[in-house]
Amino acid sequence: MKINIQIERLILDGIQVAPHEHPMLQAAIEGELARLMTTGGLSSELAAGVAVPAVNGAALQLSNDAGSMRLGEQIAQAAYGGIRK
């Protein structure tokens, strides 16, 4: 099964990510979403090919030393919680 996810805009209120960290953050989000969808699947509605205009993710609790990779994983987990329902 091929799944295509397109994220047009990601809003991170109150989180500063340096521009040079954007590629690492993107890679972390993509990798974690792929892992979660491979192991946990999707809701039957989404698996049937429904387009979703927006997904609200859970709030994130971050420490000051959370790097781009950890932040990306947490963002993907929050987003996956919204599409897994």
Tell whether the torsion through CA atoms of 77, 81, 82 and 85 is positive or negative.
Answer: positive
Q: Is residue 62 pLDDT above 80, yes or no?
A: no
pLDDT of residue 15: 81
Tens digit of pLDDT for each residue in 12-50?
777 888 899 999 999 999 999 999 988 888 777 777 777
Q: How far apart are CA 66 and CA 3, in angstroms?
A: 29
- Confidence band (pLDDT; 50, 70, 90) for 2? confident
Residue keyed to tokens 């109150």: 14
Query: How many Cβ atoms from other residues are within 10 Å of residue 21's Cβ?
Result: 16
Q: Is residue 59 pLDDT above 80, yes or no?
A: no
